[in-house]
Amino acid sequence: MTMIQSEIIFAVQESVEGGFEAKALSHSIYAEAETLDELKKNVQDAVRCHFEEKERPTSILTELNRPRASSLDKRAI
């Protein structure tokens, strides 16, 4: 008997080629899209394709990882 996972978490980041990409942290699931709204739909489709209906997680969480802009201190020395 397979244990049902209640949630699946995706790390989302901006793609080098433009748009966004999402990778599941606990499974080999990947999705990409031009916009975050598109990505949400693509992630849902990828999860539906990866799991049988009875094994599908009940919650899909995404975590957007944006690169931190370097802050330059422009005070006179």
Give 14-70 pLDDT, tens digit per residue: 999 999 999 999 999 999 999 999 999 999 999 999 999 999 999 999 999 876 554
Q: Taking 90 as the threshold, does the pLDDT of residue 7 lie above it?
A: yes
pLDDT at 3: 59
pLDDT at 66: 76
Contact 30, 20 (CB under 8 A): no
* 28 contacts: CB under 8 Å, gap ≥ 6: none
